[in-house]
Amino acid sequence: DTAVSQTPKYLVTQMGNDKSIKCEQNLGHDTMYWYKQDSKKFLKIMFSYNNKELIINETVPNRFSPKSPDKAHLNLHINSLELGDSAVYFCASSQTGSAYNEQFFGPGTRLTVL
Amino acid sequence: AQKVTQAQTEISVVEKEDVTLDCVYETRDTTYYLFWYKQPPSGELVFLIRRNSFDEQNEISGRYSWNFQKSTSSFNFTITASQVVDSAVYFCALIRNSGYALNFGKGTSLLVTP
């Protein structure tokens, strides 16, 4: 069974479009994250949600809006896509209680903006 | 502020050689946690190990070993008798005790050739 799943795996779209990436975890975790990996492989936190509440919102353009309908899901909606948004987006989850808890990552969504 | 430095961008070795991947971190916290993740060519992020700041014991897992030294703020990773399947990008990461986000280093790309 997949622990953290993301859909779609690949997303190719035109500049200016709006798109969403979905993330679901079946681990019973209550903390979820979005990380962005750029073309140089650098991984950086974008958002963190705990019990559906936004905990971290790094310096991310407000074109990016995370939505957590329940503890098992954290979706990422991106408005007015730009070329610079091309990257791999990883969803992750962990059990709250300790930062020592392992973060489990999804397979990633490769977004290409043309 | 937290910072993780992986000074080696790329390393290339021949199979069966030993290789050490360096990780140096900066933090003002006394309690923090360190992680290593592997990203093979298939793209997923695979957890390898975690260590808390109070546990300086080295760890060995098969061909993998980790050396944590607080005195030098380093958490180095050694692969003994490397194999082609070890070819991947390896990330070192740090999270503060009260944190929700992993701060990743820029990664070291390891290529093991036959």
CA distance to partner chain B, nearest, from residue A82 (Å): 23
Interface contact A88-B109, CB threshold 8 A: no
Q: Tokens 């969803």 map to which residue?
A: A91
> Which residues have CB under 8 Å from A53's CB, separation 6+?
none
Residue A58 has pLDDT above 90, yes or no: no
Residue type for position B2? Q
Q: Mutate which of A5, A44, A103 to disrupt the B interface (most B C-beta within 10 Å)?
A: A103
Q: For residues A88 and B59, which has the higher predicted lDDT (pLDDT)?
A: A88
A31 to chain B, any CB pair closer than 8 A? The answer is yes
The Cα–Cα gap between B70 and B54 comes to 9
Residues of A in contact with B106 (CB under 8 A): 40-42
Question: Terminus-to-terminus CA distance in chain B, angstroms?
Answer: 41
CA distance to partner chain B, nearest, from residue A92 (Å): 10
Mean pLDDT, to the nearest integer, of A30-39?
95
Interface contact B100-A99, CB threshold 8 A: yes
Interface contact A99-B109, CB threshold 8 A: no
| Closest A-chain CA to B46 | A105
Residue A1 has pLDDT above 80, yes or no: no
CA distance to partner chain A, nearest, from residue B66 (Å): 17
Q: For position A89, what pLDDT does the model report?
A: 98
How would you classify the pairing of strands A64-70 and A73-78?
Answer: antiparallel
Q: What percent of chain A has pLDDT over 70?
A: 99
| Closest A-chain CA to B97 | A99
> Which residues have CB under 8 Å from A26's CB, separation 6+?
A1, A2, A3, A72
Radius of gyration of chain A (CA): 13
pLDDT band at A56 (very low <50, low <70, confident <90, very high): confident
Residue type for position A9? K
How would you classify the pairing of strands B10-14 and B108-113?
Answer: parallel
Backbone dihedral angles phi then psi of residue A85, each to the nearest 5 degrees = -80, -10
CB-nearest to B95 from A88, A99, A105 is A99
Residue B112: how many CB atoms within 10 A of its CB? 20
Instruction: Count CA atoms within 13 Å of residue A12 on its CB side.
Output: 1
Interface contact A50-B45, CB threshold 8 A: no
Interface contact A99-B98, CB threshold 8 A: yes
Mean per-residue pLDDT over chain B, rounded? 95
- Tens of pLDDT, residue by residue over B82-106, are 999 999 999 999 998 877 899 999 9
Interface contact A99-B89, CB threshold 8 A: no
Mean pLDDT, to the nearest integer, of B27-37?
94
Question: Terminus-to-terminus CA distance in chain A, angstroms?
Answer: 34
The Cα–Cα gap between A71 and B45 comes to 22
